């Protein structure tokens, strides 16, 4: 059995160093691209509404993820409350925008990891982790000492600072970012982040540099690498074809991509006329075909 990459990082004493470095980003917070500048170490809150502690909405063995993550025993998901991106159509609006969850200590977060491992989960899947990276690393140190030996997944909206991601090298075996939009106008209208397309391109490139293409072992379970998610939006608002071209040409044509069809109007999606309808089957089929035309072939089924 191949050990998760964080073992070597921990063994060399690098994890403790990374924890100190990433906590420095919370003072005058520049953890994510928002760069709010608040002192989260003093419990000041910026756009993500998070202070010094992480907030968890739920944790469980989840069977709704990609088959290569779920396997027989599920993906051990830990859903964090609040978000640094805040898409107006978020499918988990109550968690991301309304902050449904509860504060947890590093010790409690570590115990959640151990609990999920003891349930037989094939991985520990941190959902929306970008605004709580320091807390994750602190709890990881505790969890390792308690016997954690399960691969970690960084399941993000793709709005991540490269500076922060570089501190995560040697921590996560699997990066699973969304690549949501190609167009700056759509990114601004949906989540007030016109820089999202540029940020996502840089973030995905850094993730791939660290872990490479997704590796799947004989039992069908992914153990290391990059998996990109892309939610198709109505009226071609996501820019699927251009995103697929970027991934195939600038990242790798062997990138494992999940082109997702489950868009439906949630949250405040009704505020944008083009997002107020459900995705049609034709729109989804056209998006998949455009991705194949651009050279992507490892598409999740």
Give dist(CA 55, CA 103) in Å, integer.
4
Give dist(CA 225, CA 4) in Å, integer.
12
DSSP structure string for 194-241: TTHHHHHHHHHHHHHHHH-B-EE-TTS-EEEEEEEEEE--GGGTT-HH
Tokens of residue 63, six digits: 């069977």
Q: Please tell me the predicted confidence (pLDDT) of residue 2.
A: 77
pTM, two decimal places:
0.97
Q: Please tell me the predicted confidence (pLDDT) of residue 1.
A: 62
Give dist(CA 257, CA 66) in Å, integer.
10
Backbone angles phi, psi at 22, to 5 degrees: -75, -30
DSSP structure string for 144-198: HHTT--S-EEEEE-S---HHHHHHTTTT-SEEEEB---S-HHHHHHHHS-TTHHH
Class of domain 6-293: alpha beta
Q: Under a CB-based contact definition with an 8 Å cutoff, are residues 210 and 169 in contact?
A: yes
Q: Please tell me the predicted confidence (pLDDT) of residue 261.
A: 96
Q: How many CA atoms lie within 13 Å of 216's alpha carbon, on the beta-carbon side?
A: 15
Residues in Cβ contact with 98 at an 8 Å cutoff, skipping those fewer than 6 apart: none
CA 82 distance to own-chain centroid: 13
Pairing of strands 124-127, 256-260: unpaired
Residues in Cβ contact with 144 at an 8 Å cutoff, skipping those fewer than 6 apart: 6, 7, 10, 15
Residues (pLDDT < 70) of the chain are: 1
Give dist(CA 261, CA 287) in Å, integer.
10
Give dist(CA 293, CA 295) in Å, integer.
5
Q: Under a CB-based contact definition with an 8 Å cutoff, are residues 35 and 26 in contact?
A: no
Query: Residue ranges per domain, the chain?
Result: 6-293
């Amino acid at each position: 059995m191949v050990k998760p990459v964080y073992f070597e990082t921990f063994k060399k004493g690098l994890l403790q160093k990374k924890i100190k470095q990433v906590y420095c980003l919370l003072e005058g917070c520049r953890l994510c691209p928002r760069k709010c500048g608040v002192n989260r170490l003093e419990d000041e809150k910026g756009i993500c509404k998070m202070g010094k502690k992480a907030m968890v909405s739920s944790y469980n063995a989840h069977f709704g993820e990609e088959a290569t993550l779920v396997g027989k025993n599920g993906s051990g998901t830990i859903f964090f409350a609040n978000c640094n991106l805040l898409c107006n159509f978020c499918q988990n609006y109550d968690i991301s925008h309304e902050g449904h969850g509860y504060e947890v200590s590093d010790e409690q977060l570590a115990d959640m990891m151990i609990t999920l491992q003891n349930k037989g989960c094939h991985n520990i899947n941190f959902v929306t982790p970008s605004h709580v990276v320091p807390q994750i690393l602190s709890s990881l140190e505790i969890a390792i000492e308690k016997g954690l030996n399960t691969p970690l997944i960084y399941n993000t909206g793709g709005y991540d600072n490269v500076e922060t991601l570089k501190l995560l090298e040697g921590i996560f075996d699997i990066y699973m970012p969304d690549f949501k939009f190609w167009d700056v106008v759509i990114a601004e209208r949906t989540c007030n982040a016109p820089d999202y397309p540029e940020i996502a391109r840089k973030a995905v490139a850094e993730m791939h540099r660290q872990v490479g293409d997704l590796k799947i072992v004989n039992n069908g379970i992914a153990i290391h690498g990059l998996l990109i998610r892309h939610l198709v939006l109505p009226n071609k608002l996501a820019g699927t074809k251009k995103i697929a071209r970027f991934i195939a040409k600038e990242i790798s044509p062997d990138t494992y991509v999940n082109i997702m069809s489950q868009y439906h109007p949630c949250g405040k999606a009704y505020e944008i006329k083009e997002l107020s309808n459900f995705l049609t089957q034709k729109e989804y089929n056209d998006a998949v075909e455009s991705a194949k035309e651009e050279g992507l072939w490892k598409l999740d089924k």
